Amino acid sequence: MAVALSEARFGELDIHPDIFRAISDLGFMAPTPVQDRAIPILQEGHDLFAQAQTGTGKTAAFAIPILEKVDPSLRHPQALVVVPTRELALQVTREFGALGKYRHAREAAIYGGVPYGTQDRALARGAAIVIGTPGRLLDHIERGTLDLSHLSVVILDEADRLLDMGFAPEVHRLLRHCPAKRQTALFSATLSVQVRDLARRFTHEPLQVAIDPEKANIDSVEQVYVEVLEQDKARALDELLRRFDTDQVLVFRHTKRGVDGLDQRLRKRGHDVAAIHGGMTQRQRERVMQRFRDGELHVLIATNVAARGLHIEDISHVVNYDLPEDADVFTHRAGRTGRAGKTGVAITFVGEWDFDEFDELREKAGVPFRKEALELYSG
């Protein structure tokens, strides 16, 4: 993928040769701006609060310094990365694996919805880096299978999503199990008051890195809305999928039932479509994600929770089939399209009950919206 790169080179950052080699294997040409600025700060041991839009390489920005810092010969967790979803836990773990392939530091992915056995064994083997979701991490602590008392680094990744998903109390409890003397860094796509507050509570004199104003994120995204009766939404989506030149499309709905219902209706109309939500097993979700990444699926329908933080590249259109719950969600969702110079389109369905709420959201989002008429209603 083509992420925006900084002027700098990896060679100018003082990166451990083993990791430098892995970076070259991955084909990364130059650090992204957040990597360029965050890596030296973390290498010097400071706390950090970093904001950069989705898809700008925040994972490597903390993975590289962590891989340099941990001692693979010590058989206890030295670094903890807290993420909001299991998909992210797996994604971040893969990135550690790729960047650390010449370092031999073990990592363990810890998330719910799967049996404990594999995770217990990964931890017992002596994982130096633990990447996980708050609930399951706490479960392991209570079961005595995870000991955080020797950590030296804690990362709160996707801090804005951790908050949106109501994980603040769990994060708080987790951090009480970590040594007071440690390095802490927060990474976030957005800079809400709540994220700043989280940073204030959990970091010590953090240095700040803010790459792009959040709006730049959605400037390359065309925001479109359509007025459509609730009962006509599936037909409207079908029409737009035919009319618009779409590559891959991500559709958001509020509930699992809504996701499944729409999945069936679009399938009947002959679309290559699949659903992803929290009611599915981890295996099922991974299989769907793989099919989407492989380009086998044209449309993916997701609940907000399931879709959070996933890196799905080359999405041309995002559809808010149900109105998003807050204006931040516009920014975040739209951030999934329109990456790397391509223009993406975010389409919001405004139903007959949604007018007031939509006006409010639109005002808060502070970006222009274009109204698109449906053929459905022009006959």
Site for ligand ADP contains 55 (CB under 6 A): yes
Closest C-alpha to 240, from 253, 249, 252: 249
CB 23 within 8 A of CB 45: no
188/248 with CB nearer Mg ion: 188
304/321 with CB nearer ligand ADP: 304
CB 318 within 8 A of CB 248: no
CB 218, min distance to Mg ion, A: 17
54/223 with CB nearer ligand ADP: 54
Q: Report which DSSP code applies to 128.
A: S
CB 177 within 8 A of CB 148: yes
Site for ligand ADP contains 369 (CB under 6 A): no
Which two structure tokens, joined as six digits, stand for 322? 């149900």
Site for ligand ADP contains 99 (CB under 6 A): no
Phi-psi region of 45 (alpha: psi -120 to 50; beta: other; left: phi over 0): left
By a kind-dependent CB cut-off of 5 to 8 A, residue 188 interacts, out of Mg ion, ligand ADP, none, with none
Residue numbers 214-273 binding ligand ADP by CB under 6 A: none
Alpha-carbon distances of 365 from 46, 124, 173, 278, 334, rounded to whole Å: 33, 47, 33, 28, 11
84/134 with CB nearer ligand ADP: 84
Site for Mg ion contains 58 (CB under 5 A): yes
Site for ligand ADP contains 287 (CB under 6 A): no
CB 189 within 8 A of CB 53: yes
Nearest residue relative to Mg ion (C-beta): 58
101/267 with CB nearer ligand ADP: 101
Contact stretch for ligand ADP (CB under 6 A) within 27-35, 127-135, 171-179, 340-348: 27-35
Contacts of 368 (CB under 8 A, 6+ apart): 223
Residue numbers 293-322 binding ligand ADP by CB under 6 A: 311
By a kind-dependent CB cut-off of 5 to 8 A, residue 31 interacts, out of Mg ion, ligand ADP, none, with ligand ADP
Give the CA count within 13 Å in the CB-facing half-sphere of 38: 32
CB 180 within 8 A of CB 151: no
> Which residues lie near ligand ADP (CB under 6 A)?
1, 3, 28, 31-32, 35, 52, 54-60, 311
